[in-house]
Amino acid sequence: MKVTIIGGGGLVGSSTAFALQCGGVVSSICLVDANADKAQGEALDLLHGASLVADQRIYAGDMSDVSTSNIVVITAGLRRKPDESRLDLINRNVDLFTGILGQMKSAGLKETTYVIVVSNPVDVLTYLAVKQLGLTWQRVIGLGTVLDTTRFRSNLAKKLQAPPTQVNALILGEHGDSMVPIWSSATINGLPIDQWPGFDASTAKEVFDATKGAGAQVIKQKGGAGFAVGLSIREVVHAIALDSRRVLPVSSLVNGPYGVRDVCLSVPTEVGCGGVRKQIELALTQKERLAIYNSARVLRETIGQVEMRLAAGPTKTAATVITAAQKPADRAIPRSAWASARK
């Protein structure tokens, strides 16, 4: 199983490569980056540890490696600035991302290849990849709320003094400001979390707020997420490679479940051979269901505006650069912002 990481010279890409190396499951790890030197340096460093870990082939490559890859992970992108929402990144990342999709197709992407999208805003970019790559939608998987979910579980464990691997709690919806904590099914090794000593409404709020703000905090303190996101990506890669059919909150094209249509967002998803094998619809509380619906609404609006802009062709006018200050509180990008691009 060959995994190529586009953006492999960056923090997320190189952390993913290290997580995959430590996992020892995939046979080849190829790092591709616009900064070829950086990709070569990361590959060299990883290779130096190979004799202590696993018999894998690790190297820096180029876009032509896409044609021989089983899984392509896309982590290339521009980082979120402190206090910048993931959706604010959209103007800076869509053109970069669609350029990479075009290069992948030109390089001879096979119809049997799986693509894992990590770059932000991940749900929007996953949707673009589904529409533009020509693969079946099941093979295009966004990291979605896998990282948010592991942060949530780890934060709960710390707060409740419980073992992290025994905490089961999900974040669904958007990987972003409208993410949804699913308290109704949260347990600690099967015990309802709301009966755990020390758990109450204020603890729940505190832990969820810390989870939602975790990305911004890590960016502020160390420049960006690395270790935890690398491990999260490894979960998805291994689920496909081992056909383990793990239920993960990845982002994929949803058409029906939870009343959501034509949007990529995270719902509980069985991941294995073939990619998305099943999207699982749970009996949630009404509040949770409405919150997922709200995520879908926010994302649908953004996707609509991105599609309009792409249909009009790339533009570099100042009017297309939206700042947080210009945006309404619900984080939708105002239609007028795209107007000049459509002329």
Q: Which stretch binds ligand NAD (CB under 6 A): 152-160, 206-214, 223-231, 237-245?
A: 223-231
Q: Among the options 86, 175, 212, 234, which is catalytic?
A: 175
Residues 42 to 81 in contact with ligand NAD, rule: CB under 6 A: 75-80
| Phi and psi torsions of 330, nearest 5° | -80, 5
Is residue 71 within 8 Å of 32, Cβ to Cβ? no
Verify whether residue 238 is a known catalytic residue: no
Tokens matching residue 155: 């934060």
Could you tell me the smallest distance in angstroms from the CB atom of residue 336 to ligand NAD? 26
Cα(22)–Cα(18) distance, integer angstroms? 6
CB 300 within 8 A of CB 263: yes
Collapsing DSSP to helix, strand or coil, 245 comes out as coil
- Which listed residue (41, 85, 203, 224) binds ligand NAD by CB under 6 A? 224
Does residue 229 touch ligand NAD according to CB under 6 A? yes
Size of the site for ligand NAD (CB under 6 A): 31
Measured from the CB atom, is 249 or 268 closer to ligand NAD? 249
Residue 166 DSSP symbol: G
Tokens at 178, concatenated = 């409208």
Residues 135-174 that bind ligand NAD (CB under 6 A): 143, 147
- CA atoms of 214 and 66, how far apart (whole Å): 32
Which DSSP string corresponds to 131-149?
HHH-S-GGGEEE-TTHHHH
Q: Which residue has the tokens 């669609």?
A: 98
Applying CB under 6 A, among 3, 5, 6, 157 the residue interacting with ligand NAD is 6
What is the Cα–Cα distance from 100 to 110, expressed in whole angstroms? 15
The angle at the Cα of 45, spanning 39 to 50, to the nearest 5 degrees, equals 120
Q: In the beta sheet, which residues pair with residue 74?
A: 6, 117
Whichever of 193 and 275 has its CB closer to ligand NAD, that residue is 275
Task: Assess 100 for contact with ligand NAD (CB under 6 A).
Answer: yes
8 Å CB contact between 184 and 285 = yes
Query: Does 220 engage in binding with ligand NAD (CB under 6 A)?
Result: no
**Binding segment for ligand NAD among 115-123, 201-209, 240-248, 333-341 (CB under 6 A)?**
115-123
Q: Which stretch binds ligand NAD (CB under 6 A): 93-101, 104-112, 238-246, 285-293?
A: 93-101
Which of 288, 298, 16, 297 lies closest to 171, judged by CA? 288
> Which of 162/232 has CB closer to ligand NAD?
232
Interface segment toward ligand NAD; rule CB under 6 A; list 153-161, 189-197, 221-229, 286-294: 221-229
Q: Is 118 in the site for ligand NAD (CB under 6 A)?
A: yes
Q: Which residues bind ligand NAD (CB under 6 A)?
A: 6-7, 9-13, 33-35, 38, 75-80, 93, 96, 99-100, 118-120, 122, 143, 147, 175, 224-225, 229
List the catalytic residues. 175
